[in-house]
């Protein structure tokens, strides 16, 4: 094929996508603490038929990564399309508009284009990170909705084996016995359905963001979902031990689990003491049950789109704020740079683009997960290249019929509207096997010290002394922990506290840290020489250049 002909074909494909980009409604669905434990991502244990059904009509990104594995920083990063170093939010104690820059958010961008925008449930992290208003009125046309029953989420509402109520991690309940007779995600779905119904005869397009609270802890879920995962069928992870060469600064001591009543009774030693195996199995059982409970709520939304006649005019995006460790590397919860904590599902359903079926064939029947389903999942529309949650804003904008924000300059604190991500629209016309070696995802995590502390999982800004910058490519993950100065938001690339390097060909679960073996190699020099179009954050590029020169650091040879 000649060069001119190839260009003509690519132009034709691009025009085909653009021609179908008349302004679409957007249903943006976000789970909380959801790793890729879904059937459509290859997890054979997970029962997620509704999300799987959505994925079968969608484009799924198999290697999508959050920018920081904790709620507020990740959500703020995705919704502004700026890295945590740009929002300057690494904890829960600041609001980016006054702390860093008056950045335009994704829903704000849609609102400025005359969309009706609404937030239901947990989209922005509530409280200080969103100015105690979920960024209203900037981002939303109406005040954000939060379920009344959420006020009981961390109260003593879990019936223990002693018959008393506790604030437990494991909290499968009889919903009718709960305060107000309901649960947060049930209320979230009800309110989202009400809003969808109100938009049916409205000519104004909508951007409806629906944030589910599960599978975030505590696992306060309807008890019937445990029946999907009999305890005798649950298994432990194959790598439950802390990797031998893991730098101590990298370890997450999962303090939020330790504070729960039922976990405290285990008297697990800090910071590495393992949770008893029988309790590990129960944690895994409850996590998967929480995923299925959340999946059922997604099914209710998808069913409503079909019943209300909105399925052929509404783009559906499904994702999560970050992943969650289920015992891998001796860790639980998030708070790390490992794949299990940073990798998330990312699914785009775009009517007329990802699915050309008729509306009748493209319906999304709500599947009751508690009933055996004969659904056979098949999805050939997958993208295996590495992408970031930063890419969501520009991609959703473009695919909905708006113009994607421009790429930010390297220093962009004064830029109100730009993206530090990439518009992935072109991938909607590419095959699943295309491999882009230069595609990278960057995550970071702060620590208060080189050794695990009680605030290691979520240190306040003033307590951060080390920042771990991590670069994920198709076949490896490279992480370096550098000195960080919270008063100036700067790092010392020459002061290395530890490093990690995992090669997936031999080590897909990131258990063999070969940082010391490869740090002088051609691999590091290759990464350091990546072109600016690779979107390598400035701090990581500086550090790679420094290391590739083979210079010494305070903690040894680099």
Does residue 365 lie within any of the structural domains? yes
- 519 confidence band (pLDDT: 50, 70, 90): low
- Confidence at residue 517, expressed as pLDDT on a 0 to 100 scale: 83
Q: Which residues pair with 445 in a beta bridge?
A: 468
Overall size of the chain counted in residues? 558
Query: What average pLDDT score do residues 280-296 get?
Result: 98
- Confidence at residue 557, expressed as pLDDT on a 0 to 100 scale: 32
- Confidence at residue 382, expressed as pLDDT on a 0 to 100 scale: 78
Which structural domain range is residue 59 located in?
3-242+276-440
Query: What average pLDDT score do residues 259-283 get?
Result: 96
- Confidence at residue 356, expressed as pLDDT on a 0 to 100 scale: 64
What is the rounded CA–CA span in Å between residue 519 and residue 354? 42
CATH number at residue 317: 3.40.720.10
Does residue 112 lie within any of the structural domains? yes
- Confidence at residue 433, expressed as pLDDT on a 0 to 100 scale: 55
- Confidence at residue 538, expressed as pLDDT on a 0 to 100 scale: 65
With 0-12 / 13-18 / 19 or more C-beta atoms within 10 angstroms meaning exposed / middle / buried, residue 289 is: buried
What is the pLDDT of the chain when averaged over all its residues?
Answer: 88
What is the rounded CA–CA span in Å between residue 289 and residue 226? 5
- Confidence at residue 7, expressed as pLDDT on a 0 to 100 scale: 37
Query: What average pLDDT score do residues 248-271 get?
Result: 96
Query: Do residues 501 and 471 make contact, with C-beta atoms less than 8 angstroms apart?
Result: no
Of 66-80, 137-151, 294-308, 416-430, the range with the lowest mean pLDDT is: 416-430
Query: What average pLDDT score do residues 42-70 get?
Result: 95
- 531 confidence band (pLDDT: 50, 70, 90): low
What is the pTM assigned to this prediction? 0.91
Does residue 307 lie within any of the structural domains? yes
Distant-in-sequence, close-in-space partners of 544: CB < 8 Å, separation ≥ 6: 524, 527, 528, 536
Q: Examine the pLDDT at 13 and tell me if it is beyond 90.
A: no
Distant-in-sequence, close-in-space partners of 315: CB < 8 Å, separation ≥ 6: 24, 25, 26, 27, 348, 349, 350, 351, 396, 399, 400
65's tokens: 């990564």
Q: Examine the pLDDT at 533 and tell me if it is beyond 80.
A: no
Nearest to 220 by CA among 295, 155, 127: 155
What is the rounded CA–CA span in Å between residue 70 and residue 321? 8
3-state secondary structure 46-86: CCCHHHHHHHHCCEEEEEEECCCCCHHHHHHHHHHCCCHHH
pLDDT digits (tens, 9 = 90+) for 454-504: 999 999 999 999 999 999 988 899 999 999 999 999 998 888 899 999 999
Does residue 230 lie within any of the structural domains? yes
pLDDT digits (tens, 9 = 90+) for 133-190: 999 999 999 999 999 999 999 999 999 889 999 999 999 999 999 999 999 999 999 9
Q: Examine the pLDDT at 369 and tell me if it is beyond 70.
A: yes
Query: Do residues 57 and 362 make contact, with C-beta atoms less than 8 angstroms apart?
Result: yes
Question: Catalytic residue positions?
Answer: 71, 125
Distances (CA, A) of 161 to 129, 155, 168: 38, 17, 11
pLDDT digits (tens, 9 = 90+) for 107-141: 999 999 999 999 999 999 999 999 999 999 999 99
Q: Examine the pLDDT at 293 and tell me if it is beyond 60.
A: yes
Query: What average pLDDT score do residues 253-264 get?
Result: 96
pLDDT digits (tens, 9 = 90+) for 416-464: 999 999 999 988 876 655 656 568 899 999 999 999 999 999 999 999 9
pLDDT digits (tens, 9 = 90+) for 208-238: 999 999 999 999 999 999 999 999 999 999 9
Does residue 22 lie within any of the structural domains? yes
Does residue 425 lie within any of the structural domains? yes
Q: What total of structural domains would you count in the chain? A: 1
The rounded percent of the chain whose pLDDT value lies above 90 is 76
- Confidence at residue 248, expressed as pLDDT on a 0 to 100 scale: 98
What is the rounded CA–CA span in Å between residue 121 and residue 125? 10
- Confidence at residue 537, expressed as pLDDT on a 0 to 100 scale: 72
Does residue 217 lie within any of the structural domains? yes
Does residue 140 lie within any of the structural domains? yes
Q: Examine the pLDDT at 207 and tell me if it is beyond 90.
A: yes
What is the rounded CA–CA span in Å between residue 226 and residue 514? 40
């Amino acid at each position: 094929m000649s060069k001119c002909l190839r260009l003509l074909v690519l132009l034709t494909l691009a025009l085909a996508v653009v021609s179908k980009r008349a302004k679409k409604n957007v249903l943006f669905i976000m789970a909380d603490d959801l790793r890729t434990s879904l059937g459509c991502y290859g997890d054979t244990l997970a029962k997620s038929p509704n999300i799987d059904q959505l994925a079968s009509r969608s484009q799924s990104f198999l290697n999508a990564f959050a920018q920081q594995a904790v709620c507020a920083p990740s959500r703020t990063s995705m919704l502004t399309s700026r890295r945590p170093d740009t929002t300057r939010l690494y904890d829960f104690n600041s609001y980016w508009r006054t702390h860093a820059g008056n950045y335009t958010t994704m829903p704000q961008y849609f609102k400025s284009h005359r969309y009706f925008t609404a937030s239901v449930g947990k989209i922005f992290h509530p409280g200080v990170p969103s100015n105690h208003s979920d960024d209203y009125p900037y981002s939303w046309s109406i005040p954000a909705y939060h379920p009344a029953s959420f006020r009981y989420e961390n109260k003593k509402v879990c019936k223990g084996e002693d018959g008393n109520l506790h604030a437990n991690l494991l909290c499968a309940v009889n919903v009718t016995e709960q305060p107000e007779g309901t649960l947060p995600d049930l209320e979230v779905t009800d309110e989202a359905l009400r809003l969808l119904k109100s938009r049916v005869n409205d000519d104004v397009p909508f951007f409806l963001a629906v944030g589910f609270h599960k599978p975030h802890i505590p696992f306060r879920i309807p008890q019937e979902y445990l029946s999907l995962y009999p305890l005798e069928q649950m298994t432990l992870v194959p790598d439950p031990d802390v990797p031998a060469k893991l730098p101590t600064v990298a370890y997450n001591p999962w303090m939020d689990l330790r504070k729960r009543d039922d976990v405290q009774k285990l008297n697990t030693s800090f910071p590495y003491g393992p949770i008893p195996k029988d309790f590990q199995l129960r944690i895994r059982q409850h996590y998967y049950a929480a995923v299925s409970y959340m999946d059922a709520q997604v099914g209710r939304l998808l069913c409503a789109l079909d019943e209300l006649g909105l399925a052929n005019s509404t783009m559906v995006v499904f994702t999560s704020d970050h992943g969650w460790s289920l015992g891998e590397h001796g860790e639980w919860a998030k708070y790390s740079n490992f794949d299990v904590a940073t990798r998330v599902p990312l699914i785009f359903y775009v009517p007329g683009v990802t699915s050309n079926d008729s509306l009748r064939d493209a319906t999304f029947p709500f599947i009751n997960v508690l009933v055996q389903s004969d659904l056979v999942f098949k999805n050939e529309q997958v993208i295996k290249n590495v992408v970031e949650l930063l890419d969501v804003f520009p991609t959703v904008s473009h695919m909905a019929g708006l113009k994607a924000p421009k790429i930010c300059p390297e220093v962009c604190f004064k830029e109100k509207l730009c993206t530090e991500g990439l518009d992935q629209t072109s991938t909607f016309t590419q095959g699943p096997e295309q491999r882009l070696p230069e595609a990278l995802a960057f995550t970071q995590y702060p620590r208060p010290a080189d050794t695990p502390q009680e605030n290691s999982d979520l240190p306040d800004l003033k307590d951060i002394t080390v920042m771990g910058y991590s670069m994920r490519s198709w076949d490896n993950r490279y992480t370096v922990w550098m000195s960080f100065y919270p008063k100036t938001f700067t790092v010392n690339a020459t002061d290395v506290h530890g490093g990690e390097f995992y090669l997936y060909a031999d080590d897909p679960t990131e258990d063999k840290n070969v940082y010391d073996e490869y740090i002088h190699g051609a691999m590091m020099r290759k990464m350091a020489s990546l072109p600016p179009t690779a979107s390598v954050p400035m701090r990581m590029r500086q550090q790679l250049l420094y290391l590739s020169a083979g210079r010494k650091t305070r903690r040894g040879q680099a």
